[in-house]
Chain A
């Protein structure tokens, strides 16, 4: 079956760095996505990895290891507005729907 695991909750302080891990076991692999979602809103795209390595995009970076079925999202210089749910999603075959993990709720405090 398809399985995507990520921690349920994380806390951090403003200005800190936080790493949200995601492990996946899917029938195939055609890309891994990270989304940010604020309560009651639709997910917002953050990053996409299909090859091994690190993708950097401003304060956010995402890493992928296909052999380990592992990814992480790194958030630097945390701000209060980064408090949200972060969703890891995998596309197992081209053109198919994304399979989402349960999401990690990040709380940033001052």
Chain B
């Protein structure tokens, strides 16, 4: 079946630095990628939707200059958390829209970001 490879699985960074998270779709073309954030004991909250070759659409309350999303190819989307702070510590998950899948969505394995 369709697989989305997400890296890194976990990362610890210092406050003020930037972190890049990659999601690659294997065996299929991900024209749309959804980025979610999940705080402890809470559900997945949509941050942004990106379509290949165009600018991402951000949900209300999500700073587009802080969370940079690039979807330059049909198989790769990246999320860069710029100038990270401890409150950005969270679990970030990507989800690709797979038109060949009956269910339509394939999730990455998630990235645990800890900012110290």
Q: Say whether B105 faces chain A, with CB atoms less than 8 Å apart.
A: yes
The interface on chain B, measured as residues whose beta carbon lies within 8 A of the other chain's beta carbons, has a size of 24
Q: Say whether B46 faces chain A, with CB atoms less than 8 Å apart.
A: yes
Segment among B64-72, B76-84, B90-98 that sits at the interface with chain A: B90-98
Q: Say whether B44 faces chain A, with CB atoms less than 8 Å apart.
A: yes
- A40-B91, A42-B109, A42-B110 as given contacts; A87 in contact with B43, CB under 8 Å: yes
- Total cross-chain contacts (CB, 8 A): 47
Segment among A59-67, A73-81, A93-101 that sits at the interface with chain B: A93-101
Interface of A is mostly: loop
Chain B residues near A (Cβ < 8 Å):
6, 32, 34, 36, 41-46, 49, 91, 93, 95, 97, 102-105, 107-110, 112
Chain A residues near B (Cβ < 8 Å):
31, 33, 40-43, 45, 48, 87, 91, 95-103, 105
